[in-house]
Structure 1
């Protein structure tokens, strides 16, 4: 054995799983195909939003709370400022489905929040050009995560705890045996008791068929703008925002580099054949819709995109992650498919993955993220009777 646990892919979730695992054992090794926080991964783009108010599964709220605490622990352990605690706004039509669903989930979870009328919004946050029937839900626990800093800090903390890290080491195959899991990169192989697969958009090629059918790599693009007066868009004056209507949707973050404001169209992830084939340049249609939306929403921003980029992420058909064991022998653990929304919970999900993969603790109430929700009787039959149809037969169930 080369160790108790290998973590394949040290991006948003993998880096946090490595850090959390290193607090439990010094026999953990991380493998990264390129370099940590490289510019083509889903970590790219400087920042991600953290928020405690959202629409959807109520069971997500405890993970958000744990994630918030763990971001603070990572900051304390590494001395890095990672989470800028500036609050967050969700803006929409006062009686529309977006605000209504947000409030339903917030009240079900007893999440701290404040409802701001159009008049209160105009007074407190004049940067927003509001429609007559607008209102907002303010999340006092929201903020901005510095992605590159978070990932590199977590990996450094893991190494300080005794973890081993291999960079520029893409994994070619994963073979489960009765005694462990053999992973190979080129002519080199290692054997571990258990493995976590957390390679984001690159995870699909390592999946069994039933998960390949339930996932798709998508291209997510980001855009930034210069403000007429950057002082009006600092974290102290301009919280993160999510704004949604039937015909317009955008999210963004305050100035963290002293110059640019992130303002990006929401929900525009487009399918791409592979994580390596993501077009970085925006299309004319993407540029036009983005600038038109900024013109409507933010008169204080110059409506010219000064920076843009695009990144891959793995999406599931129900937009919930894949977090759990893949095989009946329970040696290969999946932590991927976060569908463009995983970074805020990266510490929480990394904690769950590390504790479960090392068999230190099992967590309940997570049926909405378990991979087996996508397993069908046909997939079971194929995996049990014929490995020949699997792109990676080593993942066949045993």
Structure 2
């Protein structure tokens, strides 16, 4: 006898969605959360994440994005929550520069709906951006801002409504695969499940085999917010999400979904943090200076003083691609972590894949780039 068909360890960005999807497939699903869903120290923190269909990189993500887009709408319909604020999105960079060319190359491969905005069109439509003379943008009409706290709590509530059991404030100490299943130990108590999904984000390394520990690293991600001189110019109706990259300058952000603060954050500044429970929350002097200098250049309508900031741990892989699949061939432990600071937009899609595969309901092709086995050396 086991205590359930599936346990999901970690109910953050991906784990909450995997639990929700699994609860649609089985009435014997259990979730373990070390604190509470959407707690303030997890990678879920920070109000919003960007959703976009336009990006640069591996076009194999596009089918997952399409699935995620549908599932975000399903989660909203099932829970009555407004999770994805659809406001469009901008990828801004130098005309014919490496960033814009890479975005257009990926968009050509995926066939994603988009519009290339000239410098003049970009300046007219979105005057909030202080542009360089050769700046252009690729506009994504399907992009928007995901409300992270609302998404995670909604997914967990939906799973519980479907019959899932959730153990809150229950950090898992160990997982052990046996002939009878997978033994999960937490706080002196043990459970046995047919299968387990590890989705603990920055805390996942504690439960991983050595070969995956060697290929991953927990890093600190920080976020920052600003107040506008005229908040009406930075509402979702007027100010799409954005990513802006050229040379050594890079920033991304979201409109004032709270009506007051605009998220504007440096991109790609994650730094290793050995202990996910001890991530420095305060920004360093250098981080403050680079952030405010970039905001001063990019957005004359924002007051260049950080009014709110925070930092969170997330798990990064050596190649920046996620870990989605069993620990090893035939293993009952499934890995859904290592999203390297870029997983939330696809959280519903990744959760769907993890739940179906871990329960043996369906397997998915074209996912070699995310399988953990790619890091095995022998």
Superposed pair shares fold, TM > 0.5: yes
SS at match of 2:185: strand
SS at match of 1:203: helix
Q: How far apart in 2 are the matches of 1:315 and 1:236?
A: 34
Alignment check: 8 A CA contact 2:328 2:373 kept: no
SS at match of 1:302: coil
1:1-398 matched pairs, under 5 angstroms:
1-377=2-378
Q: How far apart in 2 are the matches of 1:328 and 1:67?
A: 27
Q: How far apart in 2 are the matches of 1:182 and 1:247?
A: 48
Q: How far apart in 2 are the matches of 1:188 and 1:288?
A: 48
Structure 1 residue 205, shift from structure 2 partner: 1.2
Alignment check: 8 A CA contact 2:3 2:193 kept: yes
Q: How far apart in 1 are the matches of 2:315 and 2:331?
A: 23
Q: How far apart in 2 are the matches of 1:18 and 1:223?
A: 30
Q: How far apart in 2 are the matches of 1:248 and 1:183?
A: 45
SS at match of 2:334: strand
SS at match of 1:111: coil
Structure 1 residue 18, shift from structure 2 partner: 0.2
Alignment check: 8 A CA contact 2:11 2:33 kept: yes
Once the two structures are superposed, residues 30-62 of structure 1 have per-residue CA deviations (whole angstroms, 9 ceiling, x without a partner) of 000001100000000000000001111111000
Q: How far apart in 1 are the matches of 2:117 and 2:59?
A: 23
Q: Under a length normalisation based on structure 2, what TM-score does the superposition of the two structures give?
A: 0.99
Structure 1 residue 274, shift from structure 2 partner: 1.6
Once the two structures are superposed, residues 323-343 of structure 1 have per-residue CA deviations (whole angstroms, 9 ceiling, x without a partner) of 000133320000000000000
CA RMSD of aligned residues (A): 0.5
Structure 1 residue 241, shift from structure 2 partner: 0.2
Instruction: Give aligned pairs, total.
Output: 377
Structure 1 residue 81, shift from structure 2 partner: 0.1
Structure 1 residue 95, shift from structure 2 partner: 1.2
Q: How far apart in 1 are the matches of 2:131 and 2:242?
A: 13
Q: How far apart in 1 are the matches of 2:284 and 2:226?
A: 17
Structure 1 residue 187, shift from structure 2 partner: 1.3
Structure 1 residue 276, shift from structure 2 partner: 1.0
Structure 1 residue 179, shift from structure 2 partner: 1.7
Q: How far apart in 2 are the matches of 1:107 and 1:219?
A: 33
Alignment check: 8 A CA contact 2:182 2:195 kept: yes
Q: How far apart in 1 are the matches of 2:330 and 2:374?
A: 17
Structure 1 segments of 4 or more deviating over 6 A?
none
SS at match of 1:138: strand
Structure 1 residue 178, shift from structure 2 partner: 1.0
Give ranges in structure 1 of 5+ residues lacking alignment: 378-398
SS at match of 2:263: strand
Structure 1 residue 227, shift from structure 2 partner: 0.2
Q: How far apart in 1 are the matches of 2:262 and 2:342?
A: 20
Once the two structures are superposed, residues 128-176 of structure 1 have per-residue CA deviations (whole angstroms, 9 ceiling, x without a partner) of 0000000000000100000000000000000000000000000001010
SS at match of 1:136: strand
SS at match of 2:40: coil
Q: How far apart in 2 are the matches of 1:64 and 1:87?
A: 15
Structure 1 residue 110, shift from structure 2 partner: 0.5
1:327 to 1:247, Cα distance in 2 relative to 1, 3 A:
closer
Q: How far apart in 1 are the matches of 2:79 and 2:170?
A: 25
Q: How far apart in 2 are the matches of 1:258 and 1:235?
A: 9
Q: How far apart in 1 are the matches of 2:101 and 2:329?
A: 41
Q: How far apart in 2 are the matches of 1:205 and 1:23?
A: 29
The answer for the alignment partner of 1:396 in structure 2 is none
